[in-house]
C-alpha cells in the first residue's frame, strides 16, 4: 500500500535536516508512537534531544529495509539494493558512521558500496573478508553513475518504502499505554549520537562501567543494590579470568552454571538500579565541570545503559553456551546428537545479537577523550581486547546460521533421513580435488544419529551394462581412457562440477537420494586420529594411530596392486570398511577424546582443503561457500588470480615424494598494462633411477618398491594454470615426451594447451604435460599479458590484489611473490610484509597451507 502524501512530506523534511538535529526538535514525529516504542526498547535514547531521538529511530527503522540476500550478480542494477543503498549512502551512513554527506545523487552513487558494507558488517571494515566484500559489491567501482532517471526512481521508491514502514510502525505503536508515553516524554537531554561500531560481547566491560556508575551516587536503597552488583561483578570477574585461561572443553559445567546465576542476578540488579537512579541521572550532564571525573559522571547514563546491554548479551550468551557445554562433557551424547539439538539455543542467540547491536551503538557514543585517564586506559587495555576475543570465540552471525541449518543436515528437523556420499581421496596420486578417488562411503543420518554406513571401492560403483560418456580429452590422450568412469569424476578442478559427475555416476548403479557430498584425504585421517586416538582395526595386530596410519593404508593398497585374485575388488571394499567403520564408531561414541579439539581440527582441515563439502540445501551451501569450504574457484572481478592444479596421469603414487613450488612475478611498472611471469618447479625425490615409461615402474620394470607401493617412479603430471579471465599467454616452456614412452607409444610435442575457461566464470586456463624423472628438478614457465588487475584508487594511488588458491590435497607448496613497481612508487599499504630488492622489486615468501590473499596500495610521486 502506498504511503500518504503527508507522510512523505514529513519524511522528506527529516531527511533534508538530518545533519541539523536541532531543527527537528519540534517535528510532528518527535512525540509519535514509533519513537516512544523505540525509547522503551532502548532507555538510552532518553539522553538525546527530541530531534536526535527521531533520527536514531528512523535510522533503525531504515535498516529493516535491507534486503535479506546479497545483490544479484550479473545484474548490477539490482533495484532492491539500489533503493536501500542510495538512501543509506545519501542520508543514514553519514549520520551513523560520521561520514561526509554526498552533495548529489551521483555523489551518493559512488559511496553505495562502502555504505552497504557498513550497514551489513559494521565499521570495522578491516575484519571483512574479500569474499564478503565481493558478495555485497554493487557499484563495483564503476566510474560512471547509473542514469539520473534510475537514481531518481530508486530514491522515490526507497522513500515510499520507508514511509510505508513508518506508517505501519505508527499504527502498531498506538497501543502503548498512555502512562508509559508520558514517562518517555519527560526524559530528554542533548547528546549527539556517535558512530556504530562492533565491539563484541562479554562480561568484562560491564565490570568497568558498573563500578563507575555505582560510585557516583549514594543512598541506602541504591547502596544496597550497588553492593549486590559489586558482589556479582567480583564473582564474574574471577570466573572470566579463569575461563579465558583454559580451553572451552576444560570449563567446569558447575562453575559455568554458577556464573550464569550471577549474570541473571546482575542483569536484574542493573534494571533495578536504573529505576532507582533515573531521577539522579538527569543531573549527570551538568557535572562536566567536576575535576578529573567530570567526563565519567556526565556520561554515566550512557555507561549504565551500555553496561545493561552488555550484561544482557553476556547473560544470553551463557544461556546459549551452557546447553552445548553440558552435551560436550556428557559422553552419553554423540557429536551428531549434540548438533541435532542446536535449535535449543536459537532464542538466546537471537536475544544476544539484539543486545550486542545496542551495546555497539552505546560504546561508540562514549567519548573516550572526556573520560578520566584511569577509566580510558581500563577500556583500551583490558575491556576492548577482551570483547574482541569474546566475539572471535562466538561469531554470532555464523552461529545463528548454523543453528538453523545443522538440525536439517543431520535429519533432526522432521525432514527424514539424510544420505551423504563420503569420497576417500589419495593425495599420493594427486588429482584436482585432492587425490585419486579410491573409495566412496554412503552415510545416512536420522534424527542426529548415524544409522547406516557402507564403504566400497570406487571400481565397484561402475555398471558396465550401461553406456558411459566420453571422458575429458586429456584422459583419452594421456591415459587411454575411452569411457568416463566414477573413479575419474574428480578430474575437474571446481568441486561443484565434480559433485555433479559423482552423483550422476553413483545414481547409475546406486539409486539413492543424496543430500550432499564430502571428501577426505589421507592427511585428514592422520590429523583426526591424532585427536581421537588409536583405533582397533579387525585382523590387525597393532592399533592404528596417527603415526602408522599412512603405512597401513599404503601397505594394504600395495596388496591390492598384486596380480588380481578372485576376491580382489571385494577385498578392497573390506579394506576401506575395516578402518573407516571403527573410526566412525569411536568418534560417535565420544570415548577418549575432547569433542571441541576434534571440532577445531576439522575446521582447520576445512580451511586447508583436506576436507571439501557440498550440500543440496541452498542455505547450507551458501554458508560453506562464504567460508571457502565448497572447493569452487573464487576469482574476483578486476583482481589477479592464480591456481596451479596437478593431475597425476602416471598410474603411480609418486606425489608422496614430489615437492612443488611456485614463483610468480607481477610487473606493474606500467600499472595500466600489467604482465606476469609464472614458474612452477617440481623436484622428484625418488631415491632410485627409473626409466620414464607411462606405467607403474613396478609393472614389468622390476624396480623395487617400498612395501610394493608404487612411489618409486617418474612423475607424470598434467598441469593446469588458472589465471584471471582475459589473460593472454605470450610465451611458455613446455617439454616434449619422446615416442614409445606413453601408453599410446606416440610422441607428445612440447605444447601449452589453451583450455578456455573450463566453464568456470572469471578464469582463463592453460595446460601442459610434464614428466619429472627421479632425482631431478624441472621448471616450466608461463608469461602472460594480464587484464586490468591494478586500479587507481585516488590521485596517483594504485591498488593491486591477488588471490592464490590452494589445490586440495597439497600440503604447503612454497610460494614466492615478486612485484615490480614504477621507479617513483612508494608503498602506502601492504597486507603482508615485503622485502625490498634492487630495481624497485618487492617480494614475499609463504607456504600455501591455505588460500593466500594479498593487497598492496602504492602511490606515484
Looking at residues 759-772, what average pLDDT do you find? 98
Query: Domain check: are 376 and 434 in the same one?
Result: no
Task: Judge whether 192 lies within some domain.
Answer: no
Cell readout for 849 is 597451507
Cell readout for 859 is 602511490
Looking at residues 834-849, what average pLDDT do you find? 92
Task: Judge whether 195 lies within some domain.
Answer: no
Looking at residues 146-175, what average pLDDT do you find? 77
Of 94 and 770, which is predicted with more confidence? 770
Predicted pLDDT at 174: 57
Predicted pLDDT at 526: 97
Q: Phi and psi at residue 385, in whole multiples of 5°?
A: -60, -35
Residue 172 confidence (pLDDT) above 70: no
Please write the tens of the pLDDT for every residue from 572-631: 546 677 898 899 888 888 778 887 788 889 999 999 999 999 999 998 998 899 889 999
Of 473 and 94, which is predicted with more confidence? 473
Predicted pLDDT at 839: 78
Please write the tens of the pLDDT for every residue from 782-797: 999 999 999 999 889 9
- Rounded-to-integer distance, Cα 612 and Cα 632, Å: 10
Task: Judge whether 161 lies within some domain.
Answer: yes
CA atoms within 13 A on the CB side of 564: 5
- Rounded-to-integer distance, Cα 240 and Cα 203, Å: 7
Domain carrying residue 329: 204-408
Cβ-Cβ contacts under 8 Å for 631 (sequence gap 6 or more): 433, 494, 495, 496, 498, 519, 609, 612, 613, 614, 808
Query: Domain check: are 623 and 718 in the same one?
Result: no
Q: Per mean pLDDT, which range of 212-216, 489-493, 537-541, 728-732 is the poorest?
A: 212-216
The answer to whether 834 touches 859, Cβ cutoff 8 Å, is no
Of 176 and 98, which is predicted with more confidence? 98
Predicted pLDDT at 673: 97
Looking at residues 11-20, what average pLDDT do you find? 86
Looking at residues 162-180, what average pLDDT do you find? 66
**Can you tell me whether residue 498 is helix, strand or coil?**
helix
Looking at residues 664-687, what average pLDDT do you find? 98
Residue 165 confidence (pLDDT) above 50: yes
Predicted pLDDT at 237: 66
pLDDT band, very low/low/confident/very high, at 823 (cuts 50, 70, 90): very high
Compute the mean pLDDT over every residue in the chain, rounded to the nearest whole number.
82
Query: Domain check: are 254 and 394 in the same one?
Result: yes
Of 373, 408, 443, the domain-final residue: 408
- Rounded-to-integer distance, Cα 206 and Cα 303, Å: 9
Of 408, 426, 451, the domain-final residue: 408
Looking at residues 667-682, what average pLDDT do you find? 98
pLDDT band, very low/low/confident/very high, at 548 (cuts 50, 70, 90): very high
Query: Domain check: are 26 and 150 in the same one?
Result: yes
Of 331 and 571, which is predicted with more confidence? 331
Helix axes 384-393, 204-214, angle to 10 degrees: 140
Task: Judge whether 284 lies within some domain.
Answer: yes
Of 158, 185, 212, the domain-final residue: 185
CATH assignment at residue 494:
3.40.630
Of 257 and 435, which is predicted with more confidence? 435
Please write the tens of the pLDDT for every residue from 368-377: 888 888 777 7
Predicted pLDDT at 335: 67
Residue 428 confidence (pLDDT) above 80: yes
Task: Judge whether 191 lies within some domain.
Answer: no
Looking at residues 162-191, what average pLDDT do you find? 56
**Can you tell me whether residue 679 is helix, strand or coil?**
strand
Predicted pLDDT at 442: 95
pLDDT band, very low/low/confident/very high, at 26 (cuts 50, 70, 90): confident
Task: Judge whether 752 lies within some domain.
Answer: yes
Dihedral sign, Cα of residue 221, residue 227, residue 230, residue 232: negative
Residue 191 confidence (pLDDT) above 90: no
Query: Domain check: are 258 and 390 in the same one?
Result: yes
- Rounded-to-integer distance, Cα 600 and Cα 606, Å: 10
Task: Judge whether 90 lies within some domain.
Answer: yes
Residue 274 confidence (pLDDT) above 80: no
Query: Domain check: are 619 and 685 in the same one?
Result: no
CB atoms within 10 A of CB 607: 16
Predicted pLDDT at 73: 64
- Length in residues, the chain: 861
Residue 331 confidence (pLDDT) above 50: yes
CATH assignment at residue 703:
2.60.40
Bridge partners of 423? 440, 519
pLDDT band, very low/low/confident/very high, at 125 (cuts 50, 70, 90): low
Looking at residues 53-73, what average pLDDT do you find? 82
Residue 401 confidence (pLDDT) above 90: no
Predicted pLDDT at 822: 96
Of 518 and 294, which is predicted with more confidence? 518
Residue 650 confidence (pLDDT) above 60: yes
Q: To the nearest whole percent, how much of the chain has pLDDT over 90?
A: 41
CA atoms within 13 A on the CB side of 264: 9
- Rounded-to-integer distance, Cα 718 and Cα 798, Å: 36
Residue 153 confidence (pLDDT) above 50: yes
Predicted pLDDT at 783: 99
Counting the structural domains of the chain, the total is 4
pLDDT band, very low/low/confident/very high, at 444 (cuts 50, 70, 90): very high
Looking at residues 200-212, what average pLDDT do you find? 42
Query: Domain check: are 316 and 431 in the same one?
Result: no
Predicted pLDDT at 429: 97
pLDDT band, very low/low/confident/very high, at 652 (cuts 50, 70, 90): very high
Cell readout for 435 is 587425490
Query: Domain check: are 612 and 678 in the same one?
Result: no
Looking at residues 180-207, what average pLDDT do you find? 37
- Rounded-to-integer distance, Cα 683 and Cα 450, Å: 43
Dihedral sign, Cα of residue 543, residue 547, residue 551, residue 557: positive
Give which of 766, 577, 771, 759 is closest to 692, Cα–Cα: 771
Task: Judge whether 391 lies within some domain.
Answer: yes
CA atoms within 13 A on the CB side of 554: 21
Query: Domain check: are 706 and 615 in the same one?
Result: no
Predicted pLDDT at 82: 84
Of 420 and 161, which is predicted with more confidence? 420
DSSP secondary structure of 363-426: HHHS-GGGS-HHHHHHIIIIIHHHHHHHHHHS-HHHHHHHHHHHHHHTT-SSS--EEEEEEEEE
Please write the tens of the pLDDT for every residue from 703-727: 667 767 899 999 999 999 999 999 9
Query: Domain check: are 403 and 427 in the same one?
Result: no
**Can you tell me whether residue 35 is helix, strand or coil?**
helix
Query: Domain check: are 384 and 451 in the same one?
Result: no
Query: Domain check: are 458 and 384 in the same one?
Result: no
pLDDT band, very low/low/confident/very high, at 404 (cuts 50, 70, 90): confident
Please write the tens of the pLDDT for every residue from 451-491: 899 999 999 999 999 999 999 999 999 999 999 999 999 99
Of 457 and 700, which is predicted with more confidence? 457
- Rounded-to-integer distance, Cα 794 and Cα 826, Å: 14
Predicted pLDDT at 475: 97
Amino acid at each position: 500500500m502506498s504511503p500518504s502524501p503527508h507522510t512523505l512530506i514529513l519524511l522528506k523534511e527529516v531527511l533534508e535536516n538530518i545533519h541539523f538535529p536541532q531543527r527537528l526538535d519540534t517535528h510532528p514525529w518527535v512525540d509519535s508512537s514509533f519513537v516512544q516504542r523505540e525509547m522503551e526498547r532502548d532507555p538510552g535514547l532518553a539522553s538525546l534531544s527530541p530531534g536526535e531521538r527521531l533520527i536514531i529511530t528512523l535510522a533503525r527503522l531504515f535498516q529493516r529495509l535491507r534486503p535479506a540476500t546479497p545483490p544479484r550478480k550479473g545484474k548490477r542494477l539490482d533495484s532492491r539494493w539500489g533503493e536501500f543503498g542510495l538512501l543509506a549512502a545519501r542520508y543514514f551512513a553519514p549520520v551513523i558512521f560520521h561520514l561526509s554527506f554526498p552533495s548529489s545523487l551521483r555523489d551518493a552513487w559512488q559511496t553505495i558500496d562502502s555504505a552497504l558494507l557498513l550497514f551489513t558488517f559494521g565499521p570495522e571494515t578491516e575484519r571483512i573478508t574479500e569474499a564478503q566484500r565481493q558478495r555485497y559489491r554493487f557499484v563495483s567501482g564503476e566510474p560512471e553513475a547509473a542514469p539520473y532517471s534510475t537514481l531518481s526512481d530508486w530514491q522515490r521508491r526507497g522513500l515510499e518504502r520507508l514511509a510505508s514502514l513508518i506508517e505501519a510502525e505508527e499504527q502498531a505503536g498506538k497501543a502503548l499505554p498512555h502512562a508509559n508515553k508520558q514517562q518517555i516524554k519527560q526524559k530528554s537531554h542533548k547528546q549527539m549520537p556517535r558512530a556504530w561500531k562492533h565491539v563484541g560481547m562479554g562480561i568484562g566491560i560491564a565490570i568497568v562501567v558498573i563500578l563507575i556508575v555505582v560510585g557516583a551516587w549514594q543512598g541506602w536503597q541504591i547502596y544496597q543494590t550497588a553492593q549486590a552488583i559489586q558482589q556479582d561483578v567480583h564473582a564474574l570477574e574471577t570466573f572470566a579470568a579463569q575461563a579465558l585461561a583454559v580451553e572451552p572443553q576444560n570449563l567446569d559445567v558447575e562453575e559455568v552454571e554458577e556464573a550464569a546465576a550471577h549474570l541473571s542476578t546482575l542483569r536484574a540488579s542493573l534494571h533495578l538500579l536504573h529505576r532507582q537512579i533515573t531521577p539522579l541521572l538527569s543531573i549527570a550532564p551538568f557535572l562536566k565541570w567536576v575535576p578529573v571525573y567530570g567526563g565519567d559522571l556526565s556520561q554515566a547514563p550512557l555507561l549504565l545503559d551500555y553496561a545493561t546491554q552488555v550484561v544482557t548479551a553476556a547473560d544470553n550468551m551463557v544461556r546459549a553456551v551452557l546447553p552445548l557445554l553440558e552435551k560436550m562433557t556428557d559422553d552419553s551424547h554423540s557429536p551428531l546428537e549434540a548438533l541435532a539439538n542446536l535449535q535449543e539455543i536459537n532464542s538466546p542467540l537471537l536475544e544476544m545479537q539484539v543486545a550486542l547491536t545496542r551495546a555497539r551503538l552505546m560504546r561508540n557514543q562514549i567519548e573516550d577523550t572526556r573520560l578520566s585517564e584511569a577509566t580510558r586506559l581500563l577500556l583500551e587495555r583490558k575491556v576492548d581486547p577482551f570483547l574482541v576475543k569474546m566475539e572471535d570465540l562466538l561469531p554470532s552471525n555464523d552461529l545463528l546460521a548454523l543453528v538453523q541449518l545443522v538440525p536439517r543436515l543431520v535429519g533432526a528437523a522432521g525432514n527424514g533421513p539424510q544420505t551423504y556420499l563420503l569420497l576417500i581421496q589419495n593425495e599420493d596420486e594427486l588429482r584436482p580435488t585432492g587425490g585419486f578417488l579410491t573409495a566412496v562411503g554412503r552415510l545416512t543420518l536420522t534424527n542426529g544419529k548415524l544409522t547406516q554406513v557402507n564403504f566400497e571401492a570406487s571400481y565397484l560403483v561402475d555398471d558396465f551394462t550401461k553406456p558411459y560418456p566420453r571422458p575429458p580429452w586429456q584422459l583419452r590422450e594421456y591415459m587411454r581412457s575411452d569411457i568416463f568412469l566414477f573413479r575419474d569424476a574428480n578430474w575437474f578442478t571446481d568441486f561443484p562440477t565434480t559433485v555433479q559427475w559423482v552423483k550422476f555416476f553413483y545414481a547409475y548403479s546406486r539409486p539413492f537420494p543424496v543430500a550432499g557430498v564430502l571428501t577426505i584425504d589421507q592427511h585428514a585421517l592422520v590429523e583426526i586420529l591424532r585427536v581421537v586416538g588409536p583405533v582397533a582395526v579387525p585382523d590387525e595386530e597393532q592399533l592404528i594411530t596417527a603415526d602408522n596410519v599412512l603405512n597401513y593404508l599404503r601397505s594394504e593398497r600395495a596388496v591390492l596392486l598384486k596380480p588380481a585374485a578372485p576376491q580382489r575388488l571385494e577385498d578392497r571394499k573390506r579394506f576401506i570398511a575395516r578402518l573407516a567403520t571403527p573410526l566412525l564408531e569411536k568418534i560417535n561414541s565420544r570415548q577418549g577424546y575432547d569433542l571441541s579439539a576434534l571440532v577445531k581440527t576439522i575446521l582447520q582441515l576445512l580451511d586447508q582443503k583436506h576436507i571439501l563439502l557440498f550440500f543440496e540445501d541452498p542455505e547450507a551451501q551458501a554458508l560453506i561457500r562464504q567460508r571457502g569450504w565448497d572447493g569452487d574457484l573464487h576469482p574476483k572481478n578486476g583482481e589477479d588470480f592464480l591456481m596451479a592444479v596437478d593431475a597425476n596421469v602416471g598410474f603411480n603414487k609418486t606425489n608422496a615424494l614430489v615437492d612443488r613450488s611456485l614463483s610468480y612475478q607481477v610487473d606493474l611498472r606500467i600499472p595500466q598494462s600489467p604482465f606476469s611471469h609464472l614458474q612452477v618447479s617440481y623436484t622428484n625425490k625418488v631415491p632410485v633411477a627409473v626409466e620414464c615409461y607411462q606405467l607403474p615402474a613396478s609393472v614389468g620394470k622390476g624396480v623395487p618398491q617400498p612395501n610394493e607401493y608404487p612411489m618409486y617412479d617418474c612423475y607424470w603430471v598434467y598441469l593446469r594454470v588458472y589465471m584471471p579471465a582475459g589473460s593472454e599467454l605470450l610465451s611458455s616452456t613446455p617439454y616434449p615426451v619422446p615416442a614409445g614412452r606413453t601408453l599410446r607409444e606416440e610422441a607428445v610435442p612440447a605444447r601449452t594447451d589453451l583450455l578456455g575457461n573450463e566453464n568456470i566464470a572469471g578464469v582463463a586456463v592453460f595446460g601442459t604435460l610434464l614428466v619429472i624423472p627421479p632425482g631431478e628438478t624441472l621448471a616450466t614457465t608461463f608469461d602472460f599479458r594480464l587484464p586490468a588487475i591494478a586500479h587507481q584508487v585516488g590521485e596517483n594511488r594504485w591498488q593491486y590484489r591477488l588471490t592464490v588458491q590452494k589445490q586440495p590435497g597439497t600440503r604447503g607448496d612454497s610460494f614466492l611473490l615478486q612485484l615490480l613497481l614504477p621507479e617513483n612508487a612508494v608503498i602506502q599499504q601492504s597486507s603482508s610484509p615485503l622485502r625490498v630488492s634492487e630495481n624497485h622489486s618487492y617480494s614475499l615468501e609463504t607456504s600455501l597451507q591455505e588460500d593466500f590473499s594479498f593487497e598492496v596500495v602504492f602511490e606515484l610521486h
